[in-house]
Amino acid sequence: MTDTEATRHPETPAEVASAILDAIETRPDAFNYDGQPLADLVQALVDEAVRQATWEYASTLLARLGACTCCGEDIGRTAFARSSGLLARILDTARPGHRHLVCSVSAAPETLVAVLHADTDPGGASQVDEAEALEFTTVLALGLATRSPGGLVIRTTTPSAPDQVYGWRLRKGDFEPLTAGEIFDAYCTDVDSGGLVSPESDVDYCVPPDLGHEATPSTHRH
């Protein structure tokens, strides 16, 4: 499989069928049929296949980075460790409830996107799907390691309270918080026309919480 094929979504019936079989072989425990419509089941299988392909592609690129020629540090491994720490801090500092995170990284031949859903249990601990978390962490690590442009946005939903939306940008390997105005513009601008759209009701577009030392700029600058 080439890099381009690894990130291209299945389109033809044959490609969809192949993607479904690959997804079932990779994670058979993730697909329990509970009587849902076939169209919903097929979409879930395709989504899982795309997620697997995204993780494989991002992992391959990280591995190819190898060691730094100046200090010998494993660039991909270091970025993954930093990415894991950032994700942990993002979830720890987020308001309890349902959290929906999206990370996008500009990488040839197309932008990589990873999605993570996280809920909190009665004890306040975050509950995530391990495969989603691995893909999310890997895509974020790739953006940090390659210093590619990108971003991460989180939306938290809690009963009887407005949703909170905030995020960060990836810039030259650094993780920078977005202002409330920037996140508002991102959510309230029509992608096609560039015009403004009405903001959602009961949504607070705000600055992200302080992540502490986990969000400090990378020390690997070679």
pLDDT, greater one: 123 or 138 = 138
Judge contact between 188 and 178, C-beta under 8 A. no
Give the Cα separation of 57 and 138 in Å (integer): 10
Task: For residue range 70-115, list pLDDT tens digits in order.
Answer: 777 888 899 999 999 999 999 999 999 999 999 999 977 778 999 9
How many residues would you count in the chain?
222
3-class SS of residue 21: helix
pTM, entire model: 0.76
What whole-number distance in Å separates Cα of residue 90 and Cα of residue 124? 14
The more confident residue out of 2 and 207 is 207
What SS3 state is found at 206? coil
Best CA proximity match to 135, nearest among 27, 55, 219, 67: 55
| Contact (CB, 8 A) for 54 and 113 | yes
pLDDT in tens, 126-156: 899 898 999 999 999 999 999 999 999 999 9
How far from 67 is each of 19, 78, 85, 120, 142, CA to CA, in Å? 33, 10, 21, 37, 14
Helix, strand, coil percentages for the chain (3-state, nearest 5): 45, 20, 35
Q: Which helix (H) or strand (E) holds 216?
A: none
